Amino acid sequence: MTKFILAIDQGTTSSRAILFDRAGHIHGAAQQEFRQFFPQPGWVEHDANEIWQSQRAVIDEVLRSNGVPASDIAAIGIANQRETTVLWDRATGEPVAPAIVWQDRRSTPCCEELRADGHEDLFQQKTGLVLDAYFSGPKLKWLLDNVPGARARAERGELAFGTVDSWLIFKMSGKHLTDPSNAARTLMFNIHTARWDDELLALLDISPGLLPEVVASSGVAAHTDARLFGVAVPIAGIAGDQQAATFGQACHSPGMAKNTYGTGCFMLMHTGQTATISQNKLISTIGWTLPKGTDYLLEGSVFMAGAAIQWLRDGLGIIKSAAEVEELALAVPDNGGVLFVPAFAGLGAPHWDAYARGTMVGMTRGTNKSHIARATLESIALQSADVLDAMQADAAMPLTQLRVDGGAARNNLLMQFQADILGVPVVRPVVTETTALGAAFLAGLAVGFWASQEEIAAQWQMERRFEPAMAKDERAQRMGEWRRAVERSRAWSQ
């Protein structure tokens, strides 16, 4: 019998490969960072070949270092950074331009033009999304408009578009595929009919021939080329990273919610098998498609979370590693009146202000690096509190607890402040690698490695529960101060 599921967790700053056993435990893991490119203000790019090379390297490493032959792998599950846009040559498999990362804002003028022409409601009603540069469709339009010869080549069927899942599947199998959770992040996919939408494609001036085939999130979609790993391994799970994390957190029924603290912060609430179109500037999105149907989620996306801690390390140099931020923040009893709005790439939900910029307020002569570290941690929780307020208004479901994961979820100071500012318990699981775990679960269900959702939900275990300890009056005061700071950051860039 095969012994493991191999989860690919292709993130914004690193590629990872993790082996899971039948108990949902990590048997081995490997990780490799890759370069980030910032060619102009508001632009963020990746080298798609470097993404593939780093992902291939960590797969080889995790198998080799753990003595696991590829024949012991039951299936591969893929979770990927979403919205990042890759355009490549079908014949050579080579990218025709750098990948445009989800954080990139260059397609804002395209979105503004569509909004001015009165199309915003149409996009929201069909896709569940806000008309914003965050999503893949406007990024793809920018590539077709600006890469010499790209539009003509696309019309001749020579090019292929994909989010990172599609790119990895193409490199591993030669197939051009995606799943509904990734397709739903493009502004080109109708989440109600589960099809690419001809009307939206026409508005974006994008040829349908560029687009991947959409397959189920859980199901054998392709097999790897046998030359890659020595045997052909089924690719059986595909999901955008945040949907995968929601599945991995066993948020399988309406009202359950999780927050992932990664490069950005992503809070998702299960809303059932019908899409809830937000009235509060959140995203309605497909969670996953299983044989029994499609589950939908409400999502609020915060662009800068762990990335703000990286900025303390790489930009300010006040810490040498992200792990040091908690100790530095604990050197002071509070933030000393400092509030930091990390709107380096604009503000996401529920503000959607592409022109907001990073802002620090309340500093005095007594402000030191510990206050800045504490304000940075608190900004992550405060942004998430804004999202939860909007989410509860949309879903009309009071949240009873928030399940958390991601790198910064290991920070106890941040998690306690998150519970305090939300007024609900924050629950951290034993396995915080829930993005990879969710991809593994989707793949394992497809090949019978796990028998049912009930079996995998039973594997979820709590590691620690953070109870809210802040008085309601103080919570209201802190949120009021935060919203004043957010207003200072808005519409700063022209």
Annotated binding site for ATP: 12-14, 263, 306, 310, 407
Residues annotated in a binding site for sn-glycerol 3-phosphate: 12, 82-83, 134, 241
- Mutual angle of helices 164-173 and 48-65, in 10-degree steps: 60
CA distance 214 to 186: 13
Task: State the first-to-last Cα distance of the chain, in angstroms, to the nearest integer.
Answer: 60
Name the burial class of residue 14, with classes exposed (0-12), middle (13-18) and buried (19+) by CB atoms within 10 angstroms of its CB. Answer: middle
According to DSSP, the residues that pair with 302 across neighbouring strands are 265
CA distance 384 to 304: 11
Q: Quick one: tokens of 116?
A: 């001015």
Name the burial class of residue 250, with classes exposed (0-12), middle (13-18) and buried (19+) by CB atoms within 10 angstroms of its CB. Answer: buried
- What is the pairing mode between strands 283-290 and 293-302? antiparallel
Residue recorded with tokens 């790198």: 407
Q: Is 195 left (phi over 0), alpha (psi -120 to 50) or beta?
A: beta
CA distance 206 to 139: 11
Residues annotated in a binding site for glycerol: 82-83, 134, 241-242
Residues annotated in a binding site for ADP: 12, 16, 263, 306, 407, 411
Q: Which helix (H) or strand (E) holds 369?
A: helix 369-395
Residues annotated in a binding site: 12-14, 16, 82-83, 134, 241-242, 263, 306, 310, 407, 411
CA distance 201 to 439: 29
Helix, strand, coil share (%) of the chain residues, nearest 5: 40, 25, 35
- What is the pairing mode between strands 426-429 and 462-466? antiparallel
CA distance 221 to 234: 7
